[in-house]
Amino acid sequence: MAPSVPRTRAAAALRMKQIALDNQDRTIRRLRAQLATERRGLATTKKELEDTQVALEASHKVIAGLTEIGLSMSKKIERMKVKKQNVRANHVGCHQKFQARIHEAEDSMQAQHLLIKALVDEKDSLLQTIHGLQEANNAPAPFDGEWEEEPEEEPEEEEIEDIPLGEGEIDDD
């Protein structure tokens, strides 16, 4: 038994080493399969990241374009506000000028009214003076305070016959 024991031990040790190697081989294959799966997952993730990067760059371009449009519109709005303020100021100025003209016209009309009233009062005073002088001189009164207006004569207009113009004639009106 002695000679077979070392062989059996050696065979058993070899067998154990073979089993250990087989286990390691299976572990390596399993780890390689996991590594391959992880690599495929990483490749997919990398592709997704690249697609996301492209989409992100496109979004940045769109945002930059929209920002430019927004800035342009803001500038236009500011110019329109300034223009509106100028128009409003111009309108206020014109309104004030027209109000001043209206007040001037009203003042002028009021002055004319006062002048007419003064002239009427003066006329009445002159008529009373004339009437007083006529009474003092015993002259007949040329008018007794009542006015008779003579109807205005309207000049007769000569009727002009409408003569139709022929073709090619020139109207010298």
54 in any annotated domain = yes
Length of the chain (residues)? 173
pTM greater than the 0.75 cutoff: no
Written as one letter, the residue type at 65 is: G
Show Cβ contacts of residue 134 under 8 Å, excluding neighbours closer than 6 positions: 140, 141, 142
Going residue by residue through the chain, which has 173 residues, state the pLDDT in tens, using 9 for 90 and above: 455 566 788 888 899 999 999 999 999 999 999 999 999 999 999 999 999 999 999 999 999 999 999 999 999 999 999 999 999 999 999 999 999 999 999 999 999 999 999 999 999 999 999 888 888 888 665 555 555 556 666 656 555 565 555 555 555 55
How far is it, in rounded angstroms, from Cα 8 to Cα 15?
A: 10
Domain contains 63 = yes
Residue 162 lies inside a defined structural domain of this protein: no
Spatial CA neighbour of 147 closest among 117, 116, 124: 124
Helices (H) and strands (E) counted in the chain, each on its own, are: 1, 0
Question: Considering the domain boundaries, does residue 81 fall inside one?
Answer: yes
**In this structure, is residue 120 part of a structural domain?**
no
Total number of domains in the chain = 1
Residue-level pLDDT at 10: 85
Looking at the domain assignment, is residue 60 inside a domain? yes
Cβ 3 vs Cβ 9: under 8 Å: no
Residue 41 lies in a domain: yes
Residue-number span of the structural domain to which 64 is assigned:
7-100
Asked if residue 145 belongs to a domain, the reply is: no
